[in-house]
Structure 1
Amino acid sequence: MNLVLAKNETGRALSDSFAIARDRLPGTGSVAEARSAAFEAYDRVGLPHRRIEDWKYTDLRALMREVLPLAPVPDAAALARAATAAKLQAIKGVRRLVLVDGVFAPKLSELAGLEKGLAVRTLRDVLEAGDAALQAQLFTPDIANPMVALNSAMMTDGVVIEIANGLVLKEPLQVIHVASGATPAAMFTRSLLRLGKDAGATLVESYIAADGATAYQVHDSLIVTIGDNSRLDQIRLIEDGREAVNISSAVIALGAHAHFNTFGMTSGAAVSRYQAAIAFAGEGSRVETNGVNLLNGRQHADTTLFMDHAVPHCASREVFRAVADDRGHSVFQGRIIVRPDAQKTDAKMMTRALLLSDEAEADNKPELEIFADDVTCGHGATTGALDESLLFYLRARGLSEKEAQALLIQAFVGEAIESIVNDDLRELAIAAAQRWLEARG
């Protein structure tokens, strides 16, 4: 029997949006063909739902419901609102690269005086320039994941950063994603970072909203290659508007003896998911991933990590903390696979959740798949409430209940935040956590 599935109104609307947006999307020829193939891959599945195992706890058909139309090109007023919002993220000694409503904003970015060996281009320029090698790398992410496929089809702009062999950047790079408009819309961005051999860099990604930005959607992806003997430090701060949706993906590949240290904090957006696939392609490499979810109201935040140990003598550490208040829902899915040739792998994963109310929820799903016999691997997960005896101790010494809770929460997430090497960036993360604590009722 042949079954024909009728496309629902949401599916038809998105198909129409893709058709309308094609004239705005950069790239022709093979790029346009790749976009069409990616959209068809998305269209076969649609928004992920709980019957897909990787999306079991984050049913976008229920949480997100539809994909909004592509955001318009920001006008002067939008850029002015974005500039005001970006100033609040200003960090001393950091080079800013600003995307407004999914479009690179050169007037708000700092492109002058680039270090020798550092190249920064826009995604639009790369897709329109006909660089086949770079374009192929930009379409690398697996389009079997429907949200990655949608991003591949609709990506409008982003930054392409290349760091030459032997160059260790003196100042961090900060990519700021600003939603400026009051009209609900979606922005699709993709960025690429390539570190050569013996190189080093720090990358900060900030997601923020200008005053008046409401129920917008962020669809972002990042592709990273880290060369032999190189190091990348990454900090991600999700402080989107309270009605926003943020779906972000990352694909990271490490060469031999490379080091990747990443920290992410989610305290904004109504619905968010960060999914990362990290592949060890060279021996002797190390990855440290640390994350924090700070949630209240009805916020839903999902962190899904896939660590692929394919070669020997590599190590990975995952430390994740979640604090959920009111009806907040935190999800952590961590999967470590150790392939047959990955002997001497050392991989550990630990996730802890702190629930501040009876209606808060935390779903932790750590997984190990081991196909090698000479490895050291482990994982753990805990969920609990604030220690009443510690609260009593602090209250007895003059602290209010809210102050006592804040002190214990800070201590709880502190282990993950301390992984940030740069002092100024660590203070930036601490300030974001404090803003969340101060906003609690």
Structure 2
Amino acid sequence: MTLSTALKTGDLTALPSRRDEDWRWTDLRGLLRTLPPAAPAHDGEVPAGPFAGLADAETVFVNGRRVAETEMTSGVIALRFVALADTASQSASHALVVKPGESLVLLESHEGRAKGYVSDVALDIAVGEGASLERIILVEDDAEAINVVTAEVALAPGARFAQTVLTSGARRQRIETRVSHPGAHADARLDGAYLLDGQRHADQTTVVTHAGVDGTTSQLTKGMVTDQARGVFQGRIVVSPGADQTDARMGHHALILSEKAEVDAKPELLIFADDVSCAHGNTIGALDEQAIFYARQRGIPEAEAKAMLTVAFVGEVVERIEHDGARAIAAAWVAKKLGSPE
């Protein structure tokens, strides 16, 4: 059951619902009573994206259609999915292969420049032996949009994959990443940050399956919800039989800044091997009132103090971004979302 299938067939029963364990907090069937018409082709200019000026090449999808593409297997590339049609549906798919020994930075953006759209994006990513890929994803959807982004990532021995998701949510939003990890000295880092207000919803779901010996995974997700927003984190690390000497770490930490906001978290370690080092942590709480008090004593208004503390809280995720330009844009995006001076 997927949104993609529903958009292709028009069959609403293909939508995932709360009866599906992995979708119980991101119910699409109960929300979508009708599917909007397909988005029309766009033949006009496309506004610049959030990573403008950083990439050596750019692939652009507008309303689900590819309008520009430059083939590259190394360097820095931008991958943009732009919604420019109100109350319309769009779907897109893209495959990316990083050749053995190559190094690539993927600056991926999902840009909601329309109202009330439904979007589904599927990515197929392969990172070759000894290759490296850093994927930075910035998602800015319309408040009434529905958006599902699913990435299937296959790592070869000795490959390195690093990912950071930054999102402000939507009416319903799910960013899902599934990693096939071979062990064999391959390394995966999966990070994320969600900053939600109003009635926005964001679901960050990851599954990493270790299939062989000597693999590492590190994961850190942080979030903030206020007003009536809802954040969802589902992280699952599977250590298959025989995947000895796996080193896997997962952490999710969230701030709830209003009584009506909600965070649902489900970190999981499924371990079927003996000689492993695995751990996970999960905390959900509020800002430190004492820190806010000290800031106010120094003449800082309460709203600004809360923004500064939240920026510092999320900053650990931002600082783990390796690409300098992308890290600077991410830091500015966080500061703007939280109303804090940069």
Q: Tell me the residue number matched to 2:64.
A: 102
Alignment of 1:285-296 (within 5 A): 285-296=186-197
Of Structure 1 and Structure 2, which has the larger fraction of its residues in strand?
A: 2
Q: Secondary structure at the match of 1:73?
A: coil
Alignment of 1:180 onto 2:81:
no
Q: CA deviation at 1:316?
A: 0.3
Contact 2:304 2:339 (C-alpha < 8 Å) held by counterparts = no
Q: Deviations over 1:335-384 (max 9, x none)?
A: 11111110000011110110010111001101111110000111111100
Relative distance call for 1:426 and 1:88 in structure 2 (3 A) is closer
Contact 1:64 1:245 (C-alpha < 8 Å) held by counterparts = no
Return the index of the structure with the highest Cα Rg. Answer: 1
2:166, 2:50 → 1: CA distance?
A: 17
Contact 1:241 1:269 (C-alpha < 8 Å) held by counterparts = yes
Q: Tell me the residue number matched to 2:216.
A: 315
2:291, 2:217 → 1: CA distance?
A: 33
Q: Tell me the residue number matched to 1:72.
A: 40
Q: CA deviation at 1:302?
A: 0.5
Q: CA deviation at 1:412?
A: 0.6
Q: Deviations over 1:416-435 (max 9, x none)?
A: 11111111101111122122
1:49, 1:198 → 2: CA distance?
A: 41
Q: CA deviation at 1:64?
A: 3.8
Q: CA deviation at 1:63?
A: 3.4
Q: Deviations over 1:214-239 (max 9, x none)?
A: 10111001111111111100000101
Contact 1:176 1:207 (C-alpha < 8 Å) held by counterparts = yes
Q: CA deviation at 1:96?
A: 2.3
1:66, 1:91 → 2: CA distance?
A: 39
Q: Tell me the residue number matched to 2:300.
A: 399
Q: Secondary structure at the match of 2:29?
A: helix
2:87, 2:129 → 1: CA distance?
A: 43
Q: Secondary structure at the match of 1:63?
A: coil
Q: CA deviation at 1:44?
A: 9.1
Q: Deviations over 1:62-121 (max 9, x none)?
A: 33444322211113xxx23xx23x255413454222211111223xx6x4xxxxxxxx2x
2:133, 2:50 → 1: CA distance?
A: 25
Q: Secondary structure at the match of 2:236?
A: strand
1:92, 1:58 → 2: CA distance?
A: 34
Which of 16, 19, 22 lines up with 1:51 in the alignment? 19
Contact 1:64 1:271 (C-alpha < 8 Å) held by counterparts = no
Runs of 4+ in 1 over 6 A off after TM superposition: none
Which of 84, 93, 99 lines up with 1:190 in the alignment? 93
Contact 1:290 1:318 (C-alpha < 8 Å) held by counterparts = yes
Relative distance call for 1:289 and 1:327 in structure 2 (3 A) is same
Q: Deviations over 1:146-186 (max 9, x none)?
A: xxxxxxxxxxxxxxx6x3xxxxx33x1011111112x3111
Amino acid at match of 1:232: L
Which of 145, 149, 173 lines up with 1:244 in the alignment? 145
Which of 309, 314, 317 lines up with 1:416 in the alignment? 317
Q: Deviations over 1:30-60 (max 9, x none)?
A: xxxxxxxxx5xx9595211111111111111
2:220, 2:100 → 1: CA distance?
A: 28
Q: What TM-score does the superposition give when structure 1 sets the normalisation length? A: 0.73
Contact 2:49 2:109 (C-alpha < 8 Å) held by counterparts = no
Alignment of 1:233 onto 2:134:
yes
Unaligned runs of 5+ in 2: none
2:271, 2:319 → 1: CA distance?
A: 30
Contact 1:228 1:282 (C-alpha < 8 Å) held by counterparts = no
Of Structure 1 and Structure 2, which has the larger fraction of its residues in helix?
A: 1
2:37, 2:207 → 1: CA distance?
A: 30
Amino acid at match of 1:74: H
Alignment of 1:18-97 (within 5 A): 18=8, 43=11, 45-75=13-43, 79-80=44-45, 83-84=46-47, 86=48, 89-97=51-59
Aligned length: 337
2:80, 2:244 → 1: CA distance?
A: 40
Alignment of 1:10-409 (within 5 A): 18=8, 43=11, 45-75=13-43, 79-80=44-45, 83-84=46-47, 86=48, 89-106=51-68, 111=70, 120=71, 163=73, 169-170=74-75, 172-181=76-85, 183-210=86-113, 213-409=114-310
2:49, 2:117 → 1: CA distance?
A: 21
Q: Tell me the residue number matched to 1:155.
A: none
Q: Secondary structure at the match of 1:392?
A: helix
Q: CA deviation at 1:281?
A: 2.6
Aligned-residue CA RMSD in angstroms? 2.0
Relative distance call for 1:358 and 1:289 in structure 2 (3 A) is same
Relative distance call for 1:318 and 1:92 in structure 2 (3 A) is closer
Relative distance call for 1:276 and 1:66 in structure 2 (3 A) is farther
Q: Tell me the residue number matched to 1:28.
A: none
